[in-house]
A and B are shown apart, each in its own frame.
Chain A
Amino acid sequence: MFSAARQLREKGVLGLNERNADFIMRLNPRRFYPRVDDKALTKELALAAGMAVPDLYGIIEHQVQVRQLTDMVGDLESFVIKPAQGSGGDGILVVTGRSERKRDSFRLSSGALVSKGELEHHISNIVGGQYSLSGNRDKALIEYCVHFDPTFAEVSYQGVPDIRVVVYRGYPAMAMVRLPTRASEGKANLHQGAVGAGVEMGSGVTLAGVLNDEIVEEHPDTGALVAGVEIPQWQFILETSAKGLEVTGLGYLGVDMVIDRDRGPLILEMNARPGLNIQIANGTGLADRIARIDELYDASATPEERAEISRREFKLER
């Protein structure tokens, strides 16, 4: 038991207690949490900083507004409903299309057809606070549904993969791509059975993946190799993530991005308590990279410079 702990320590693996006590509590002031916990606010801040985000169609804050859903989505074929204060992708509903005959029947990303009433009930639940971190009342965001970029077509099952970058004091430290599977019902959430694939920081090319804490070579549904996929606009993704520090003020941050077929990388959300699975996906611990960033830290570096330094420093030698 102790030898296992020592081995992990040598590999620089970060544990939950250490993450919470040494990084989150030290670097993430409580007062900045609303900036990431409330997705509506995150979107506003990101827009103000000139970052690209999915368009917002509307916000439903009160039970009485639930009926406005029809007006908000108008004739749109696809949109996403998400709780502003949800966590881990809970409560997100992706509408990918509508029934041809009945316009108020909506096709979900899972393939299921649901009625308008069911969507409204879901929004009621969101507003009631079912998915909110604190259990308080919440807002439901209705926003643009990201269009699938063909880059990851081979290695995802339904849904849209997203890219998670852990940013430490403004320097991107580690990244992974989360690939939806049949088990995760198209959601890019590792807890729900999505595959996480590490990303080589220098080039933005994926490494082997991890599924339920086990290393996998192939996507469980498509059978394609997870490793070797090159993420487009990698430099831009890193720069955008690095800007997360300026936008949120949080020193230990997870930035989630998606690549839209038409609009390129968009910021989906940011997270003040990014999980530690990213270490398994990358097959390496975070502690060493964090220590290296502490050495290199330069308060005056711009996000672009920080992204560049991270690419150089954390490049894997092949």
Chain B
Amino acid sequence: MKQGYVYVLAALLAVIGLSVFLYKWQVLGFPLSEDQEKPVWTVESAVHFDSGPGSIKVQLHIPTLTPGFRMLNENSVSRGYGFSINYGSGGREAQWAIRRADGEQTIYYRISVYEDDTVDESDTTPPFPPLPVINEPLKTAVDVLVADVRDHSADTASFTTELLRRLNDPSPDPNVELLLSEAASDAEFVDVARTMLASARIPARTVHGFSLAGRQRNASLVSWLEVHDGDQWLYFNPATGESNLPDRFLVWWRGNEPLVNVEGGSNVEVDFAIQENHLDAVAIAETQVSQRGASAVGVSLYSLPIQTQAVYAVLLMIPIGALIMVVMRNIVGVDAFGTFMPVLIALAFRETKLLWGVVLFTTLVALGLSIRFLLDRLRLLLVPRLSAVLIVVVILMMLISLASHRMGMETGLSVALFPMVIIAMTIERMSVVWEERGAVDAMRAGLGSLFVAIAAYIFMGMAWLEHLIFTFPELLLVILALVVLAGRYTGYRLTELRRFKELAAK
């Protein structure tokens, strides 16, 4: 019955811990390992224009739906202008307005994005477009071409491919030539293709954007054709008919409207500059937490002041040490002094590093023990004797620091955090065991403590583990579950297999 509760409790703890962990890792994108960085692109659009005499209103299309990318942040730099973001027919529009401005004006809009494959086009399925009104003789040319392309295709995708092939034919047929006679720019070319698709009742729109790669001073916008096949949006390169977006293609805006519209200004120009940075994945995940309103599970230690963070980075490793202790005591069966003494020693080793820590610990305990035996002759009462040992330990530590400093070994100075009270208690316990059970038992338990401390130090010092626990503190619940389970482990300890070997042999 009770055994059952234990399993249920352990399973519950583990499930809660693991599910929060998985959510934070998979959905919020907290990184599993330290120093994991993600490329972040900052795209800066600069709108230059000459101001007119009256009030000025600038409207700029800005990214709305960006498949493959997630926005980290955006901002605008514009001296004196009022800034707002509105939703227009083509998506989001940034709007700046000012009553009066003099001379050449530049307005900046900056957005930072990072790659995220989970972002896709969450656009709704568009309605069938109305038949475009086209005047003769273009209408006949369109009808003939659409009928012909339809004969040579099976579905929306192949229709579009075939259409683009014909439009791009180096020796076009007369109908195509007629239709393209008016199209001077890329955008107008895409517009022709869109009209044709509309005549075949296929929803299509133009997308404008650029491939993000490295640093670009003057990135030029590329127009692609976006076609809906009833289930999803497909992308086509209008110049080649190629049907996959280039890698890292950031969609800036959709539709036929011009990128920028300036009322009360002239000589409008828009530049795009792209810069690639690398940002800590944790910082990116942090913004995810706030954007998704997932602060309940996403509560993270990174929001604490740096100094407190440093304390917790150490504190959160203590449960790991406790787990090692449980394994060593109850499953392996190592003799050690005190319940958590080795864990505290392991913590001290963090400051001193392992080799020096072991040397220091052994020296202190050995010296302390010999002095403890001398004190024994004085027949002091227990508490004064313990205090005397403690004072001796402090003096010894001081002498060791001074000596090592004189010898030019700066490591000797890192002893300050060595848990002297724990060492004093260890010396006392060890001397009592020494007297009563003999040197062998005392040495065994002493070495056992040191062994557990080293094991705990090794695990507690693993940088990836520290990062993992610090980033995902919910994993402590999993450790708790393991400790609870170990609490009901009634099998043999490893050392018992040796101890009872005479019984097994018979």
Contacts and interface: CB of A to CB of B under 8 A. Distances in A.
Interface of A: 1, 4-5, 7-9, 11, 13, 15-18, 21-22, 63, 90-91, 117-118, 121, 124-125, 128-131, 191-193, 210, 213-215, 276, 279-280, 283-285
Interface string B428-460: 000010001110010000000000000000000
B381 A128 contact: yes
B381 A63 contact: yes
Given A16-B493, A16-B496, A130-B432, A8 B379 contact: no
Interface string B469-506: 00000000000000000011111111011011111101
Max count, chain A CB within 10 A of own CB: residue among B381, B383, B490: B490
Contacts of A15: 490-493, 496
B382 interface: yes
A13 B503 contact: yes
Given A13-B500, A15-B492, A280-B500, 6 more contacts: A8-B500, A9-B492, A16-B333, A17-B493, A117-B379, A280-B502
27 contacts: A1-B497, A4-B497, A5-B492, A7-B504, A8-B496, A8-B503, A11-B503, A15-B490, A15-B492, A15-B496, A16-B496, A17-B489, A17-B491, A17-B493, A18-B490, A21-B487, A21-B488, A91-B436, A117-B379, A125-B382, A191-B441, A192-B438, A214-B502, A279-B500, A279-B503, A284-B503, A285-B503
A54 B501 CA distance: 37
A284 to B, nearest CB: 7
B64 interface: no
Contacts of B490: 15, 17-18, 21-22
B491 A18 contact: yes
Nearest to A1: B497
B243 interface: no
A26 B468 CA distance: 38
Contacts of B500: 8, 13, 213, 276, 279-280
Nearest to B501: A4
B95 interface: no
A8 B382 contact: no
B interface, by DSSP: helix, strand, loop or mixed? helix
Contact of A11 (B333, B494, B504): B504
Given A8-B497, A17-B330, A18-B491, A121 B379 contact: yes
Contacts of B333: 16
A213 B441 CA distance: 14
B379 to A, nearest CB: 4
A126 to B, nearest CB: 9
A138 B5 CA distance: 39
Contacts of B491: 5, 15, 17-18
Given A8-B503, A280-B503, A124 B381 contact: yes
A171 B441 CA distance: 34
Contact of B437 (A125, A130, A192, A276): A192
Nearest to A16: B493
Max count, chain A CB within 10 A of own CB: residue among B330, B333, B436: B436
B7 to A, nearest CB: 14
B494 A1 contact: yes
Nearest to A92: B436
Contacts of B437: 191-192
Contact of B436 (A17, A90, A124): A90
B67 to A, nearest CB: 54
B449 to A, nearest CB: 17
B33 to A, nearest CB: 33
A4 B504 contact: yes
A18 B492 CA distance: 8
Contacts of B506: 11, 283
Nearest to B384: A128
A131 B381 CA distance: 13
A8 B491 CA distance: 10
Interface string B163-195: 000000000000000000000000000000000
B439 to A, nearest CB: 12
Contacts of A13: 492, 500, 503-504
Contacts of B502: 210, 213-215, 280, 283
Contacts of A131: 432
Contacts of A18: 490-492
Nearest to B425: A135
Contacts of B499: 213, 280
Contacts of B432: 90, 130-131
Contact of A5 (B330, B382, B438, B497): B497
A130 B382 contact: yes
A129 B382 CA distance: 7
A123 to B, nearest CB: 11
Contacts of A7: 504
Closest 8 CB pairs of A and B: A128-B382, A18-B490, A121-B379, A15-B492, A7-B504, A4-B497, A21-B490, A90-B436
A283 B379 contact: no
Contacts of A128: 381-383
Contacts of B441: 191
A311 B373 CA distance: 49
B492 to A, nearest CB: 4
A215 B502 CA distance: 7
Contacts of B493: 15-17
A124 B496 contact: no
A78 B263 CA distance: 115
Contacts of B330: 17
A66 to B, nearest CB: 10
Contacts of A210: 502
Interface string B329-341: 0100100000000
